[in-house]
């Protein structure tokens, strides 16, 4: 038995296929920045950007490692603004080193740590070091720790810049214990990067009490806020001057240590873990009354059937059937309400012109994107990706609400109704449609349903393309023939009330295809009798409950007490 995974935390792209909630940590956007993207292969960078865009769209929540990274994310991908927060990296105090380990380099040295790659700015650091070597009695070497992640040609060009190659040591990759020793014995740490999303070495040097100087890029200004220890990374002269000032002034080096100790005291692994776990809990709680597989399937359904081919006649007639008892005429022009499980937005398109503001809510990002596209002409529609437990309205604030064909697809239908009613003002109407349990049908009709339900259980577990194809066959060879037969029987005067699929006798084939996939492609389906629905609505705090007399069954409206 494989345990169900509710949440997946990713740290890179692409995002794997997953039906639960996805949280993503983003570090930087080098490949998007004008000064740096030219360094990447255009083809691979285009692929990388595509993976990132699709991944950010799919992700339920995003962690940015700094305010700088968060702002760049929103700049390049504005749709992420509502689902991102900043969680700083942290450093664990459970780090030990062997005090008997020999000194990694015999002479005094300046240290920098970072992969050999352009934006780490080793070139200007080496040029600055050349200037320092011109000073008499300058005794420090330069130690560069990090694996070469660039071309051999670039690496060789860095070595060629060294006026005294024996004074510049490239260590390559080192172990964690070796890195600690390099930090421990360094006179000064230099961080000359042109671009960083955070800068982990800042935490490491602070913990190991190593004096440091850094470039004045935006993220270091955010994290450090200590101008005396910063330089212009594009100017080798300025880099050399700041390094020389700190090497010559032990008091200044101590001042940077004291400032860093104060500044980074809260950057602990414990704080990072606590903030991350809090996000885990919020995301897990947000899907308590949501079935991720159902959400995924409906998202794919609305991508396939975005209702762009639904005729105005069908749309108007279906709307009239569902909203027959809804007191639309009583809503004032200032009414604010919600469409829970908005799907493609087909109901919202009819309701939005009659109200001041309509919140279109759906747990599927695909559904929200389709609804946003279909409702672009309605400026009073607000879109929220959320489940029934997270309706983005204060309690007792909505003038109306409706949920049609949604709450029978969640684990706790009664709880979902209560969540909706909780958002309503006293006296506000709530319209609800739940699948009926054929309590108004003969025994033979219920027997046919049980047979069809066996097919649904099997078909709903197949891959989406398979179930979509099979549901089209069902619409073609079952829905359409029975619907047209009932149309003919009605024309010759026969009673078709109990004739299977007679509801579709005046509907287009597009509606039949949509509903066949809706009916047979969904893994979680619940059905309720009229009395059960009445009881759930009353328990949720609704009164004056009225049911539509005709199909579809059962549609009911009630007002909050």
Supply the DSSP string of 408-477, one letter for each residue. Answer: GGSS-HHHHHHHHHHTBPTT-EEEEE--B-STTS-HHHHHHHHHHHHHHHHHTTS-HHHHHHHHHHHIII
Any domain includes 96: no
For 395-422, write each residue's pLDDT tens digit: 999 999 999 999 999 988 999 999 999 9
Domain boundary among 257, 286, 315: 286
Any domain includes 2: no
Say which range, 101-105, 443-447, 455-459, 499-503, has the weakest mean pLDDT: 101-105
Question: Does residue 473 sit in the same domain as residue 537?
Answer: no
Residue 239, pLDDT > 70, answer yes
pLDDT, mean of residues 238-254: 94
Residue 341, pLDDT > 80, answer yes
Among 368, 369, 372, 373, smallest CA distance to 387 is for 368
Range of the structural domain that residue 119 is part of: 109-266
CATH number at residue 407: 3.40.50.150
CA distance 175 to 179: 6
For 451-503, write each residue's pLDDT tens digit: 998 988 899 888 888 989 999 999 999 999 999 999 999 999 998 888 988 88
Any domain includes 103: no
Residue 97, pLDDT > 60, answer no
- Torsion angle, CA of 146/152/157/163, rounded to 10 degrees? 60
Any domain includes 233: yes
Any domain includes 95: no
Q: What's the confidence (pLDDT) of residue 99? A: 57
For 38-82, write each residue's pLDDT tens digit: 777 888 888 888 889 988 988 889 999 999 999 999 999 998 888
Q: What's the confidence (pLDDT) of residue 479? A: 92
Q: Mean pLDDT over all residues of the chain?
A: 90
For 137-159, write each residue's pLDDT tens digit: 899 999 999 999 888 999 999 99
Question: Does residue 146 sit in the same domain as residue 59?
Answer: no
Any domain includes 99: no
Burial of residue 477 (CB within 10 Å: 0-12, 13-18, 19+) is exposed
Question: Does residue 53 sit in the same domain as residue 167?
Answer: no
Burial of residue 357 (CB within 10 Å: 0-12, 13-18, 19+) is middle
Alpha helices in 268-386 (DSSP H): 269-286, 292-304, 312-322, 348-351, 365-374
Structural domains counted in the chain: 4
Say which range, 85-94, 200-209, 366-375, 550-559, has the weakest mean pLDDT: 85-94
CA distance 267 to 98: 24
Q: Give Rg (Cα) of the chain.
A: 32
> For residue 248, what are the contacts with CB-CB under 8 A and spacing of at least 6?
none
> Encoding tokens for residue 387?
């489940």
CATH number at residue 57: 3.40.50.2000
Residue 286, pLDDT > 70, answer no
Q: Return the ∠ at Cα 480 (arms to 475 and 484), rounded to 5°.
A: 165
Q: Give 188's strand partners.
A: 110
Say which range, 82-96, 247-261, 430-444, has the weakest mean pLDDT: 82-96
Q: Give 1's pLDDT tier (boundaries 50, 70, 90).
A: very low
Q: What are phi and psi of 109, to 5 degrees?
A: -150, 155
Any domain includes 433: yes
pLDDT, mean of residues 93-117: 81
Question: Does residue 64 sit in the same domain as residue 183?
Answer: no
CA distance 15 to 49: 13
Question: Taking the alpha carbons of 77, 79, 80, 82 in that order, is the dihedral positive or negative?
Answer: positive
Question: Does residue 348 sit in the same domain as residue 329?
Answer: yes
pLDDT, mean of residues 213-242: 92
For 159-193, write each residue's pLDDT tens digit: 999 999 999 999 999 998 899 999 999 999 999 99
> For residue 303, what are the contacts with CB-CB under 8 A and spacing of at least 6?
366, 370
CB-based contact 326:347 (threshold 8 Å): no
Say which range, 84-93, 110-119, 210-219, 318-327, has the weakest mean pLDDT: 84-93
Q: What's the confidence (pLDDT) of residue 320? A: 92
Question: Does residue 281 sit in the same domain as residue 428?
Answer: no
pLDDT, mean of residues 351-360: 94
Any domain includes 475: yes
Question: Does residue 329 sit in the same domain as residue 260?
Answer: no
**Termini Cα distance of the chain:** 46
CB-based contact 277:270 (threshold 8 Å): no
Question: Does residue 300 sit in the same domain as residue 332?
Answer: yes
38-67 burial code (b ≥16 CB/10 A, e <16): eeeeeeebeebbeebeebbebbbbbbbbbe
Question: Does residue 176 sit in the same domain as residue 68?
Answer: no
pLDDT, mean of residues 378-404: 92
Question: Does residue 215 sit in the same domain as residue 124?
Answer: yes
Question: Does residue 64 sit in the same domain as residue 185?
Answer: no
Question: Does residue 208 sit in the same domain as residue 125?
Answer: yes
Burial of residue 308 (CB within 10 Å: 0-12, 13-18, 19+) is exposed
> Encoding tokens for residue 259?
């400032």
Q: Are strands 212-215 and 188-191 parallel, antiparallel or unpaired?
A: parallel
> Encoding tokens for residue 70?
């968060």
Q: What's the confidence (pLDDT) of residue 19? A: 66
Among 186, 191, 223, smallest CA distance to 68 is for 223
């Amino acid at each position: 038995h494989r345990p169900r995974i509710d949440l997946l935390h990713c740290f890179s792209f692409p995002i794997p296929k997953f039906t639960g909630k996805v949280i993503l940590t983003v570090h930087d956007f080098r490949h998007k920045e004008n000064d740096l993207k030219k360094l990447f292969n255009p083809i691979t960078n285009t692929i990388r950007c595509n993976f990132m865009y699709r991944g950010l769209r799919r992700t339920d929540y995003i962690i940015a490692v700094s305010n700088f990274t968060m702002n760049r994310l929103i700049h390049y991908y504005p749709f992420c603004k509502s689902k991102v927060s900043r969680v700083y990296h942290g450093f664990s105090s459970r780090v030990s080193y062997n005090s008997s380990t020999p000194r990694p380099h015999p002479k005094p040295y300046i240290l920098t740590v970072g992969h050999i790659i352009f934006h780490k700015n080793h070139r200007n650091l080496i040029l600055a070091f050349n200037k320092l070597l011109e000073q008499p009695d300058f005794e420090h070497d330069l130690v560069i720790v990090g694996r070469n992640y660039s071309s051999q040609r670039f690496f060789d060009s860095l070595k060629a810049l060294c006026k005294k190659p024996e004074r510049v040591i490239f260590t390559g990759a080192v172990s964690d214990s070796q890195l600690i020793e390099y930090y421990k014995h360094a006179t000064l740490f230099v961080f000359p990067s042109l671009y960083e999303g955070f800068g982990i070495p800042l935490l490491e040097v602070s913990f190991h009490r190593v004096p440091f100087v850094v470039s004045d890029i935006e993220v270091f200004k955010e994290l450090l806020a200590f101008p005396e220890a910063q330089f212009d990374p594009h100017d080798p002269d300025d880099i050399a001057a700041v390094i020389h000032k700190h090497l010559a002034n032990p008091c200044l080096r101590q001042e940077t240590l004291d400032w860093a100790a104060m500044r980074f005291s809260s950057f602990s692994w414990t704080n990072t873990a606590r903030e991350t776990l809090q996000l885990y809990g919020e995301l897990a709680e947000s899907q308590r009354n949501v079935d991720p597989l159902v959400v995924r399937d409906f998202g794919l359904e609305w991508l396939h059937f975005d209702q762009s081919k639904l005729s105005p006649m069908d749309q108007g007639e279906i709307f009239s059937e569902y909203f027959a008892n809804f007191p639309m005429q009583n809503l004032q022009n200032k009414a604010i309400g919600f469409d829970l499980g908005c799907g493609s937005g087909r109901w919202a398109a009819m309701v939005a012109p009659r109200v001041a503001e309509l919140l279109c809510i759906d747990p599927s990002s695909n559904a929200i994107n389709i609804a946003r596209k279909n409702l672009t002409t309605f400026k009073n529609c607000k879109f929220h990706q959320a489940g029934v437990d997270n309706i983005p309205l204060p309690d007792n604030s909505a003038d109306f609400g409706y949920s049609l064909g949604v709450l029978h697809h969640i684990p706790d239908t009664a709880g979902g109704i209560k969540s909706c009613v909780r958002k309503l003002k006293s006296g506000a109407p709530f319209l609800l449609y739940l699948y009926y349990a054929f309590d108004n049908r003969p025994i033979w009709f219920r027997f046919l349903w049980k047979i069809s339900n066996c097919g649904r259980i099997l078909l709903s577990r197949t891959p989406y393309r398979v179930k979509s194809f099979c549901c089209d066959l069902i619409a073609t060879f079952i829905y359409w023939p029975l619907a047209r037969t009932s149309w003919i029987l009605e024309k010759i005067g026969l009673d078709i009330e109990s004739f299977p699929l007679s509801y579709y006798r005046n509907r287009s084939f597009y509606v039949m295809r949509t509903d066949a996939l809706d009916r047979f492609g969904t893994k979680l389906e619940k059905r309720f009798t009229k009395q059960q629905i009445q009881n759930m609505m009353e328990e949720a705090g609704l009164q004056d409950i009225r049911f539509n007399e005709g199909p579809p069954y059962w549609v009911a409206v009630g007002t909050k007490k």
